[in-house]
Amino acid sequence: MNVESQAFPSLKLLLPPLVPAMLLASLPVGQWLGHEWSAHGDGLILGLFFQLSTVVAFVYELRVLPTAIANLRASTTNDTPFHRACILFAGLFSVACIVWLIYTILSTY
């Protein structure tokens, strides 16, 4: 398949890590709008959704990141600062997830 004809997956690299961030951003917005948070109800549900969305975003990034890097290396038209920033953002998110996973495993034992 010709790599030149493929569009660079910038939205696929940027949107998945933003879902957990949007969940965290809902906390102060809800507080500002007058919602009183319950640590045993709302906190547990939001924590579960945050962790689940982070894991799903991490797996999705691991699937998309290698094809984006290959697309960037094979195409000279896709080598822009924005595309490099997308790959850097996705890479930093993936590294942060790996560090979080290692920390979680080491802190439980």
Is 1 within the bounds of a domain? no
The whole domain housing 96 covers 10-108
CB 4, CB 77: distance < 8 Å: yes
Tell me the C-alpha distance between 90 and 5, whole Å. Answer: 22
Q: Per the structure block, which two tokens stand in for 73?
A: 């290396």
Is 101 within the bounds of a domain? yes
Q: Of 86 and 44, which is predicted with more confidence?
A: 86
Instruction: Render pLDDT for 1-15 as a digit per residue (tens, 0 to 9).
Output: 454 546 888 888 899
User: How much is the pLDDT for 1?
Assistant: 47
What is this structure's pTM? Answer: 0.79
Is 99 within the bounds of a domain? yes
Q: Of 33 and 64, which is predicted with more confidence?
A: 64
Is 96 within the bounds of a domain? yes
Domain count, the chain: 1
- pLDDT tier at 29 (50, 70, 90 boundaries)? confident
User: How much is the pLDDT for 3?
Assistant: 47
